[in-house]
Amino acid sequence: MNTPDLPSTLSPELFPRWIEVLRDRTRVLIRPITAADRDIERAFIEGLSPQARRFRFLGQIRSPSEQLLTQLTVLDHTHQVAFAAVVSAGSGKQLIGVSRYSTTASGDACECAVTVADEWQGRGLGVILMNHLIAIARSRGIKQMYSIDDAQNTHMRELAKHLGFSSRIDAEDHCQVIHELLLDPST
């Protein structure tokens, strides 16, 4: 029996896994998010600081709705990609970071987001998560990646600059910044 978000064959291209070492030498598993991650996704979101939740969702939420959890964990894997950074925590697993993208209707661009738990920031996890996301997007022929962020989100601004994104104020909302990365330099 297949889960609703996993095809019958788990190809390494669609469902890659990596062990990465952070700056502080902590080993982290990076893998695709699945419907089975619903509970750790909820704990991750609820464990973020109010500012981190506001930056991630461009508004304040305390606890994710069931609809939001479904949206974040049940993916079509053609137009959506999401990676979880996971570490062992006691007898279970703890989600410490997430990166994701969703393609536009044309499929040539995607909107991305990355969130790292407050206590895990500054260790290089955001760069690792985004580099994996960028590599997958390039391998699938996506030409442009963009992120819409709160203009006060200095961590995202620094990460975007480090990864080569260009940035501009959102003409429709001056409280937001749009970061853009051309994935195919020939376009």
Mean model confidence pLDDT for the chain: 90
How many other C-beta atoms are found inside a 10 Å radius of the C-beta of residue 51? 13
CA 73, CA 5: separation in Å to the nearest integer? 8
Residue 187 lies in a domain: no
- Domain at 168, CATH number: 3.40.630.30
- Least confident among 1-10, 21-30, 85-94: 1-10
Assess whether pLDDT exceeds 60 at residue 27: yes
CA 2, CA 23: separation in Å to the nearest integer? 37
Residue 155 lies in a domain: yes
What pLDDT is attached to residue 103?
A: 97
Tell me which DSSP letter residue 153 carries. Answer: -
Structural domain boundaries enclosing 126: 18-182
**Tens-digit pLDDT profile for residues 99-149:** 999 999 999 999 999 999 999 999 999 999 999 999 999 999 999 999 999
**Tens-digit pLDDT profile for residues 115-124:** 999 999 999 9
Tokens of 182: 């051309």
CA 83, CA 100: separation in Å to the nearest integer? 6
What pLDDT is attached to residue 16?
A: 84
CA 187, CA 172: separation in Å to the nearest integer? 25
Number of domains making up the chain = 1
